[in-house]
């Protein structure tokens, strides 16, 4: 053992005192670490929801904070050069058009979206079976490509607007195309479907959501 003064053993009080002095610094470090990790944790949570939806085949498991709330306010200009079957220019629409007393459907789509091609026949079927107005929002697309898409696959939409920048999609909470919303007559989102509409989703999700919204509107009217 080396010569000199014997080691100075610290009692429990001095240890506790030193720990108390270090505590604020330790808390600051921990808080800083947490803030750095927060974006990673949020990304992991969203990725987890996506993984669950993909594994179960039920995209409706993805969260939507807008269900039960008014549709985001906005105006969707028409697709440039798009014409109806009789040669008249097709107009866009505004959020106010979704709050005129009728249940409606809003569909986010794009010409470059392969699943949008898969679901397109079911939009036609939905319009026919539910007798519902479907409003399309063309997402981050070129006008010429959007026109070719509708010319090739048909136009199931009452009106088609554009979200060229994708800013409105953020307000709507869109994860990606296609996404479909059922909106009641008051302009409130009552159901959101993430991913392409399939036969199963049409019959077990969308049609019941539309009928439920209509039934609730009827009961409210009769009770007023």
Q: pLDDT band for 57, please (50, 70, 90 cuts).
A: very low
Q: pLDDT band for 178, please (50, 70, 90 cuts).
A: very high
CA distances from 29 to 23, 25, 88 (A): 10, 6, 64
The whole-angstrom separation of Cα 142 and Cα 158 is 20
Does 56 score more than 50 pLDDT? no
Joined together, the tokens standing for residue 214 give 């209509």
Higher pLDDT, 34 or 36: 36
The H or E element spanning position 160 is strand 159-163
Joined together, the tokens standing for residue 89 give 């220019």
Point out the least confidently predicted range of 86-95, 97-106, 113-122, 134-143.
Answer: 86-95
| Coil vs helix vs strand at 169 | helix
Asked whether the beta carbons of 43 and 160 are under 8 A apart, the reply is no
Higher pLDDT, 39 or 49: 39
Domains of the chain: 12-57 (no CATH), 60-223 (3.40.30.10)
pLDDT for 55 equals 45
| Averaged pLDDT for residues 48-59 | 46
HSE toward the beta carbon, residue 102, CA cutoff 13 A: 12
DSSP per-residue codes, 43-85: HHHHHHHHHHHHHHT-GGGS--TTTTSBPPP-EEPBPTT-B-T
């Amino acid at each position: 053992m080396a010569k000199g003064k014997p080691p100075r053993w610290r009692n429990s009080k001095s240890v506790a005192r030193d720990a108390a002095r270090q505590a604020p610094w330790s808390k600051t470090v921990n808080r800083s670490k947490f803030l750095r990790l927060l974006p990673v944790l949020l990304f992991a949570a969203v990725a987890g929801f996506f993984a669950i939806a993909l594994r179960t085949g039920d995209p409706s498991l993805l969260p939507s904070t807008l269900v039960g709330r008014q549709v985001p306010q906005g105006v969707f200009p028409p697709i440039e050069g798009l014409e109806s079957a009789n040669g008249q220019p097709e107009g866009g629409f505004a959020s106010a058009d979704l709050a005129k007393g009728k249940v409606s459907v809003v569909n986010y789509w794009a010409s470059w979206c392969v699943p949008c091609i898969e679901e397109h026949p079911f939009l036609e079927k939905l319009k026919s079976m539910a007798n519902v107005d479907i409003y399309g929002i063309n997402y981050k697309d070129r006008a010429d490509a959007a026109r070719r898409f509708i010319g090739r696959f048909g136009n199931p939409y009452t009106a088609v607007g554009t979200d060229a920048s994708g800013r409105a999609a953020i307000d709507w909470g869109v994860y990606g195309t296609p996404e479909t919303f059922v909106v009641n007559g008051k302009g409130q989102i009552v159901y959101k479907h993430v991913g392409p509409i399939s036969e199963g989703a049409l019959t077990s999700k969308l049609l019941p959501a539309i009928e439920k919204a209509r039934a609730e509107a009827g009961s409210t009217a009769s009770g007023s």
